[in-house]
Amino acid sequence: MSIKSQLHESLHQLSEKLFGISVSFSVDIPENIDHGDYSTNIALVLAKPVKKSPREVAAILKENLLLDDSLSHIVDKVDIAGPGFINFFLSKSMLINNLNIIEEKSDTFGTSDILKDKKIITEFTDPNPFKEFHIGHLYSNTVGESLSRLVASQGADVKRVCYQGDVGLHVAKAIWGLQKNIVTSATSLEELKKKSLHEQVHFLGQAYATGATAYEEDEEAKKQIIEVNKQIFAKDPEIVDLYETGKAWSLAYFGEIYARLGTVFDHFFFESEVGEDGKKLVLGYLEKGVFKESDGAVIFPGEEYGLHNRVFINSLGLPTYEAKELGLAPAKYEYFPYDQSIVITGNEIKEYFKVLLKALSLIRPELAEKTLHIGHGMVRLPEGKMSSRTGNVITGEWLLDEAKRRVVKIMYDSSVDDDKIDETAEKVGIAAVKYALLKSGIGGDIAFSFSESITFEGNSGPYLQYTFVRTQSILTKAQDTKTGRQDDDLALEKEEEILLRHLVHFPEIVAYAAQVYAPNLVCEYLYQLAQKFNLFYAKHTVIGSEQEQFRVLLAKSVGQTLENGLTLLGIPVVYKM
């Protein structure tokens, strides 16, 4: 049990014992370190029912708290402050002993078993074959990977899956565009098959742009594309080679990006696999009145539930995204009988997802109940909107390459050609991009500016990596220093005490971040940790000082915590940069 919940429990019991009431109150980690390591508002909440002033209530609680043996071990001092907050200060021995705990727990420091035996399936990234992997996908992947790691750190059994739209109008546009562009550029599918993956994917991207533009501007082309769409569903031999080849290119390309980002999916779902099941479900429940026919299409009457109507099967008899998604939920459950299914997508389909969940709740209520949709914001570019229709997109790959290029430029003489440097630059670049995406809350939009997001100063991924490198540098130089158990009666410098008091909170922050699905809380914590360490580092010498043993252990603990935290964010560490 964490210190926080111990305090909560003790206060709860005390309130019942002294006043005979149980109220809802909180135990917080104060922002201001002068307000203690933990604080509670219980006295403010109790004041009214007890008919005493908050400070009086606090005083009564304080007196009795000190009698509690289990608390006197942990807590050194209890203060009453402000309007009636009770502040707790942890004992020094507790703080120092935490370093020993970190050393023992090593890479499991920060984990817990709150979600033990829970099966959680996470779905994220979801790029569509035949289309670009753009920054939005990069963002979804970064968020999804971090959330997956967070819930896994709390003991959950996690499976990552990716759902890809390999059938539908967008594919028809790309296929049509491929046919067209192969002719206009006087090449052939056989010729293209010999080219590099890069060139193939580029050709695909252009084909999609060609098809998408024609669909909007050319009536004849539009009709043809709709025909192609039917051919795709029918697996028409005329297009099957083109289709399979293009899809394979896309998937190979996505695979390269996942490898760079450190995501390993346990399973890939395709619309082509779940579409039929979804359609059958819809038709089955059409008879039962869940769905309705309207203008030749089958719709779900969301308006009857305060939402909006959506088409599930279009008038051509083809399942739309909605019906396919309806088929996906049971398929996921069959693959992995989950306790919770987390779907991470952009905010723009939030309303749509509500409709979908409503429909699912009438068909498979137990699955709908277990499904959680988390919407993330858009990545806005100051330079203007990107559009895959015009082929004017910033791709995820381009962004990663650009970040890496800038790292090399800043860190090294760019002429150097060295595998080690290349590997480090890649990791630092990934850190810059991922951290920029994760440091703010996932609900809001992200204003992505290269100058500010690919930065190596201030609140950035590379800053954290740099701080980690410093800790490791100390450890290398102090190899012979023993870091065994530390005495309690050490005289602490102010900067040391601040660090120790911050380190205690890591497991609580991680647990909370996992609970509320907020990787940005981990970012915030790590950034503060790095700042506090750098301040300590600037003011005190580690190696050669009288407290070398203690300080080396402190550096080691900070390094371990930084590494564990960065790992939860899906960000790699480096040992030299």
Partner RNA sequence: GCUCCUGUAGUUCAACGGAUAGAAUGGGGGAUUGCGGAUCCUCUGAUGUGAGUUCGAUUCUCGCCGGGAGCACCA
Residue ranges in 24-53 that form contacts with RNA under rule CB under 7 A: 25-26, 28, 30-32, 34-36, 39, 41, 44-45, 48
Least spacing, CB of residue 500 vs RNA, in Å: 17
Binding pattern for the stretch 331-370 against RNA, x by CB under 7 A and - elsewhere? ----------------xxxxxx------------------
Which of 423/445 has CB closer to RNA?
A: 445
419-438 and 135-153 are packed helices; what angle lies between their axes, rounded to 10 degrees? 80
Pick from 513, 528, 523: which is nearest to 558 by CA? 528
Residue entry with tokens 């020993």: 100
Q: How far is the CB of 157 from RNA (least distance, A)?
A: 27
By CB under 7 A, residue 444 contacts RNA: yes
CB of 130 to RNA, least distance (A): 11
CB nearer to RNA: pick between 113 and 218: 218
Site for RNA in 380-439 (CB under 7 A): 407, 410-411, 428, 439
Q: Is 169 in the site for RNA (CB under 7 A)?
A: yes
Among 72, 185, 315, 387, binds RNA (CB under 7 A): 315
Q: Per rule CB under 7 A, is residue 316 in the interface with RNA? A: yes
**Which residue among 457, 480, 489, 546 contacts RNA (CB under 7 A)?**
457
CA distance 164 to 166: 6
Least spacing, CB of residue 321 vs RNA, in Å: 4
- Helix segments in 51-133, DSSP class H: 54-65, 69-74, 92-105
CB-based contacts of 489, cutoff 8 Å, min separation 6:
none
- Which range, of 60-68, 133-141, 326-334, 461-469, touches RNA by CB under 7 A? 461-469
Which residue among 148, 181, 320, 395 contacts RNA (CB under 7 A)? Answer: 320
Q: Report the site for RNA in 265-294 (rule: CB under 7 A).
A: 271, 294
- C-beta closer to RNA: residue 441 or 488: 441
Q: What is the total count of residues that contact RNA (CB under 7 A)?
A: 90
**168, 211, 246, 278: which one binds RNA (CB under 7 A):** 168
Helix (H) or strand (E) holding 242: helix 237-261
Residue 385 CB, nearest approach to RNA (Å): 7
Beta bridge partners of 43: none
Task: List, in order, residues 6 or more apart from 473 with CB less than 8 Å away.
Answer: none
Among 243, 254, 321, 550, indicate the residue that binds RNA (CB under 7 A).
321
Residue 471: alpha-carbon gap to chain centroid? 26
Least CB distance to RNA at residue 499 (A): 12
Is 139 a binding residue for RNA by CB under 7 A? The answer is no
Residues 87/39, Cβ–Cβ less than 8 Å: yes
Enumerate residues 527-546 that contact RNA by CB under 7 A: 527, 530-531, 534-535, 537-543
Are 99 and 555 within 8 A, CB to CB? no
Question: DSSP label at 347?
Answer: G
Beta bridge partners of 28: 39
Which of 351/401 has CB closer to RNA?
Answer: 351
DSSP-derived letter for residue 108 is G
Q: Does 230 bind RNA (CB under 7 A)?
A: no
Q: Does 576 help bind RNA (rule: CB under 7 A)?
A: yes
Write down the least CB distance from residue 524 to RNA, Å. 5
Positive/negative CA dihedral, 73, 77, 82, 84:
positive
Q: How far is the CB of 39 from RNA (least distance, A)?
A: 3
- Near RNA in 59-118, by CB under 7 A: 81-83, 85, 87
Please list the alpha-helical segments (H only) found in 439-493: 450-453, 461-477
Judge contact between 150 and 513, C-beta under 8 A: yes
Could you give the angle at which helices 197-217 and 169-184 cross, rounded to 10 degrees?
Answer: 110
Q: What stretches of 426-538 adopt beta strand conformation (E)?
A: 446-447
- What's the chain's Rg over C-alpha atoms? 28
| Matching residue, tokens 């002294």 | 18
To RNA, the closest distance from the beta carbon of 345 in angstroms equals 9
- Specify the length of the chain in residues: 577
The residue range among 187-195, 295-303, 331-339, 389-397 that interacts with RNA, by the rule CB under 7 A, is 295-303
Binders of RNA among residues 470 to 529 (CB under 7 A) are 470, 473-474, 477, 520, 524, 527
Return all residues near 500 (Cβ < 8 A) that are at least 6 apart.
95, 96, 98, 99, 492, 554
Q: What value, to the nearest 5°, has the Cα angle with vertex 75 and ends 72 and 79?
A: 110
Kindly indicate which of the ranges 8-16, 151-159, 197-205, 456-464 contains the residues binding RNA, using the contact rule CB under 7 A. 456-464
Nearer to RNA by Cβ, of 198 and 350: the residue is 350
Using alpha carbons, list the distances in angstroms from residue 114 to 8, 18, 110, 154.
Answer: 17, 31, 12, 5
Nearer to RNA, 484 or 544 (CB): 544
